């Protein structure tokens, strides 16, 4: 994929519009999210760790709102890997 503005905008749109369907497993959703992040990294698009984490949490269906709330509040830092681990242990 070339590092054109069009490709960068397309992949950013993919990331910002990603939503997990109720029928999709957490693992499948995380894999889709990670593929998009990898494509963006290849295009040299940098995202802050807390922004990636918030985008992942925002992409989850409302059935996971309680877990997202637990993760977001009372933290000094918000790390993507912490969220992944939490969801893998609760799934």
The model's pLDDT over 18-53, given as tens digits with 9 standing for 90+, comes to 999 989 998 999 999 999 999 999 999 999 998 999
Could you tell me the pLDDT band of residue 91, with boundaries at 50, 70 and 90?
Answer: low
Alpha helices (H) along 1-91:
5-17, 26-42, 49-58, 65-72, 80-90
Q: Give the model confidence (pLDDT) of 63-77 as tens digits.
A: 888 877 877 777 777
């Amino acid at each position: 994929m070339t590092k054109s503005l069009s490709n960068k905008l397309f992949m950013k749109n993919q990331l910002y519009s990603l939503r997990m369907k109720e029928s999709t497993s957490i693992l499948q959703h995380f894999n889709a999210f990670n593929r998009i992040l990898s494509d963006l990294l290849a295009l040299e698009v940098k995202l802050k760790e807390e922004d990636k984490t918030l985008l992942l949490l925002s992409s989850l269906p409302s059935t996971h709102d309680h877990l997202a709330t637990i993760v977001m509040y009372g933290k000094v830092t918000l790390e993507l890997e912490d969220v992944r681990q939490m969801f893998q242990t609760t799934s």
